[in-house]
Structure 1
Amino acid sequence: MQVVGMLGRRPIQLLIDFDSTHNFLSVGLAHKLGLPVEDMPIVSVRVANGEQLPCSKVFKNFTLKMQGYVFGTDVFLIPLESYDLILGIHWLASLGDILWNFAELRMRFQYNN
């Protein structure tokens, strides 16, 4: 599901994807924003197209706004071409039960009561 989110006043294109193992931020966007990324041991991650990629950089507690709500999560940095951010299983699992209507491109979940 494609969604527009906000980083401060900057709109970003993001994909909510249950085929991605983790959350991913575009390396280019992270560099452009000067985000303080951390090195980590290399892990193999799976992205939306099923490709396995090595990842060795993380940004902890990345904060964005979607649909008027603020969300925070850790994001791994990888090269992304079509999106600024991909929210994967790691983020989706934090939401609990999700009602997802693909015909209407709508999802519902309980967040912070």
Structure 2
Amino acid sequence: MPEPETAELAITELSYNALAGQNSPTTLRFTAFVRGRPIQVLVDGRSTHSFTQSKVAHPLDLPIKAYPRLTVRAGNGTTLRSEGLIRQLPVKFSTHSTTLDVLVLPLFGADLVLGVLWLSNLGPVVFDFRK
């Protein structure tokens, strides 16, 4: 992802499910790894960007680029102040590795939320919601 422009981050939203760490029909949860540490991932079709918790970023000493005025609108109506952006966060899924640009937020739910910007890079996605 290129350096984010102010306009690109102007509408940044985190769904209530992602904020609270709750499952819903629009989310999928699984385990991934960052620097060998297991993390809980929530794929959320109602969040705009990808987010990680401060409590994940700091112990792993991940470099955070500050965006001092960046706020994220949460699904419960509040706004959260982002600590900044981690560029090229290495994430290992069960059989796949990737790097992600993620915003750092004071979350309490999942360790990593993958939003619509990440989903849009996948192309068509088929998901059996009964299973």
TM-score by structure 1 length? Answer: 0.80
Offset, 1:103: 1.4
Q: C-alpha separation between the residues in 1 aligned to 2:127 and 2:76?
A: 21
Offset, 1:43: 3.3
Offset, 1:81: 1.1
* Deviations 1:11-61 (CA, angstroms, capped at 9, x unpaired): 1111000111110011111011111100125334345x4544332500001
Assess if the C-alpha contact under 8 Å between 1:19 and 1:46 holds in 2.
Answer: no
Assess if the C-alpha contact under 8 Å between 1:5 and 1:13 holds in 2.
Answer: yes
Q: Which residues of structure 1 form unaligned runs of 5+?
A: 105-113
* Deviations 1:60-81 (CA, angstroms, capped at 9, x unpaired): 0111011210021100000121
2:87 to 29, 37, 60: 60
Which residue is equivalent to 2:103?
76
Q: C-alpha separation between the residues in 1 aligned to 2:46 and 2:73?
A: 8
Assess if the C-alpha contact under 8 Å between 1:42 and 1:56 holds in 2.
Answer: no
1:28 aligns with 2:55: yes
Q: C-alpha separation between the residues in 2 aligned to 1:32 and 1:56?
A: 15
Assess if the C-alpha contact under 8 Å between 1:26 and 1:78 holds in 2.
Answer: yes
The alignment yields a C-alpha RMSD, in angstroms, of: 1.7
Assess if the C-alpha contact under 8 Å between 2:70 and 2:84 holds in 1.
Answer: no
How many residues are treated as equivalent by the alignment?
103
Offset, 1:100: 1.6
TM-score by structure 2 length? Answer: 0.70
1:43 aligns with 2:70: yes
Identity %: 32
Q: C-alpha separation between the residues in 2 aligned to 1:43 and 1:8?
A: 27
Q: Secondary structure of the equivalent of 2:58?
A: helix
Aligned residue identity for 2:116: I
Which residue is equivalent to 1:9?
36
